[in-house]
Amino acid sequence: MGEFTLELNEDQKQVRDWLHGFAADVMRPAAAEWDEREETPWPIIQEAAKLGIYSLDFYAQQFFDPTGLGIPMAMEELFWGDAGIALSIVGTGLAAVGVLANGTEEQIGTWVPQMYGDANDVKVAAFCSSEPDAGSDVASMRTRAVYDEAKDEWVLNGTKTWATNGGIANVHVVVAVVDPELGSKGHASFIVPPNTPGLSQGQKFQKHGIRASHTAEVVLEDVRVPGSCLLGGKDKLDERLARAREKAKAGGERVKNAAMATFEASRPAVGAMAVGTARAAYEVALDYAKTRVQFGRPIIENQGVAFQLADMATQIDAARLLVWRASWMATAGKPFTAAEGSMSKLYASEVAKKVTAQAVQILGGNGYTREYPVERMHRDAAIYTIFEGTSEIQRMVISRAIAK
């Protein structure tokens, strides 16, 4: 177990500086173009793959960092570069986490590499949980998975929405209902292999922000997948469902479902993304305030501006500390007894919205134009309080945790 520390070691600093260079030299110059195009930036992903940033090995190294700080450090630097492009680069990670959290060793070894491809032929993956009538309310999920025992196949039907890389992914991880009577406890996750008949892309969404990241519906019509594509295997699922039925009869403790396990593991990482966007906007506003002269002096010498910047810097640091604590706790195996993962995601996402709005205000009319990046950063920041659990859901999780 890694000791908690606020100081990055030399290896971590080298990785941070390497990622920062990629974000500054490759991502930022291309950010405005891909935001306008609203397309997946395949050339940028391929460049990341050639450098080793977009790869299973890189994310595994960060994931298994004994301090827990590898992933949040990486997320902050990439999202400092640009949130839309960064999400295109790291979006596959949510599907990978879904397999790592719920799959067998054989499933992890078989499917996670196929999610990334290689530098010459990059691939992406999609995690499909939300539905048109079941976003935060996972108990209302309608996508069904029915087992065909004669063929040892699962048949999936339904529609998923808000799926990053949905429809263009090489591998889809789909959460579906296997026992409707158990509500959210009757869910399971399935791998849908490449080119499986019946899976298609539905509506592609035109979004307010993170526009370089592909978001779409995924339609499943009699999609058949082998029994081996049930994450964790059927024996484990049958045992879990049996426990859930017994506890439901006894009114016992909650049983986590596959989607919740994935989101719980990824919430601090989303918090780190928000920190990166907030930090980027703060730095633009700080530089602008030092050079923008009004009434004969730089505007940072005006208390109204200086105090805003002081609050922005303080809130960003506080958000980072919450993210780092939660990330360390997860790696150290310490339970989130007070929903520390949700705390980090909630606070960091709210800070990102507030700080980017303040950055626009400090730049005044310039901040409202696309000539300066804070306008785009402010649009991008809105997503952090929405995806992977809205701020309201995070508050519900936290309140339940502290109320025991």
Q: Which residues are catalytic?
A: 388
Closest CA to 204 of 167, 159, 172: 167
Closest CA to 72 of 286, 279, 257, 224: 279
Angle, in degrees to the nearest 10, between helices 42-51 and 83-90: 60
